[in-house]
Structure 1
């Protein structure tokens, strides 16, 4: 997330107690001294096992932790959909990145979150991938996020800045929206 100032009252006192702001200060200094250190590489790897089964595989997430996830093929393209499919992982990436970004910005703004729920969906016409209709593109045609944010001791203006900041700073959101439209429906509630 870029080092951006959010114009709120007592912003400085909020940031002094924000662990996210403290860590970002260290990273900002590091990246300003050496911009190449800001480059990261995320990874996933599939090593084909049980190649006789066209409907299931597994993917290992992160090159150090190698956390395995079983992957299935969606029933819309002939699979059993007995495990998450790659489209589900795309939605999981968008939802988890968006929610993590909300948490980071909330901490910097000292917004006390009570509950968050981010649901990401992706729509695709599979006739293209099945080569039934070559005029149908082989891609997700749209994605959507439903976001519920319940917070305490804040105001509508600050929550609007939170959502706009999350849209600007969420890497997966910004990457995907360059290729396909993403709609966002946000419900925010304030409990005092």
Structure 2
């Protein structure tokens, strides 16, 4: 897609959101069906069901998806799409690109081995490998805007309040 095609596709959306800011607020929903016997949660996605289970470090056998890995997968997917969109908007030709996320977590926290050990990812590094003829200044701008506009990266950097309630 060209930069002009992207602008044309987004133009009516931007105009509508400027005119009615409330129309830009979207609700995304995901649902998991829990299986206590199997210790899994099955999430329906557009690409089919994903069965999440325990990570091997917490007693799983590695045959189900790990929720921590799913967070990282969402991050690289979002960062990749954002990178492609930003590169297109800036007129930067990318021959190839990959995005890798490395996350660190302490199994003691989720297993309640140590009450002071954190639960969840505590450190995430996003590594972008991009092959382009663009100069370093343009690549730096590309990475800066990718980080700024990636929904998942922004959500992790500035987490919303999460409330658990009975449905």
**TM-score interval, smaller chain:** 0.7 to 0.9
Distance in 2, matches of 1:171 and 1:40, equals: 12
Note if 1:155 corresponds to 2:135: yes
Go from structure 1 to structure 2 and tell me whether the alpha carbon gap of 1:161 and 1:66 turns closer, same or farther (over 3 Å shift). closer
Distance in 2, matches of 1:162 and 1:95, equals: 15
Give secondary structure in 2 for the equivalent of 1:29: helix
Give secondary structure in 2 for the equivalent of 1:70: strand
Contact 1:19/1:107 (8 A) holds in 2: no
Give secondary structure in 2 for the equivalent of 1:132: coil
Distance in 1, matches of 2:66 and 2:120, equals: 15
User: Could you say what the CA RMSD is over the residues aligned between the two structures, in angstroms?
Assistant: 1.8
The structure with more helix, counted as a fraction of residues? 2
Distance in 1, matches of 2:47 and 2:140, equals: 37
Contact 1:18/1:110 (8 A) holds in 2: no
- 1:101-138 Cα offsets, whole Å, 9 max, x none, are 10001111111111111111211111111111111122
Query: How far has the Cα of 1:18 moved from its partner?
Result: 2.5
Note if 1:90 corresponds to 2:54: no
Match among 40, 43, 59 for residue 59 of structure 1: 43
Distance in 2, matches of 1:18 and 1:80, equals: 49
| Residue-pair matches, total | 158
Distance in 2, matches of 1:91 and 1:46, equals: 18
Contact 2:52/2:64 (8 A) holds in 1: yes
Number of the residue aligned with 1:139: 120
Give secondary structure in 2 for the equivalent of 1:79: coil
Note if 1:38 corresponds to 2:24: yes
Give secondary structure in 2 for the equivalent of 1:136: coil
Which consecutive residues of structure 1, in runs of 5 or more, have no partner in the other structure? 1-14, 180-192
Number of the residue aligned with 2:90: 109
Contact 1:19/1:108 (8 A) holds in 2: no
Query: How far has the Cα of 1:57 moved from its partner?
Result: 3.3
Number of the residue aligned with 1:172: 152
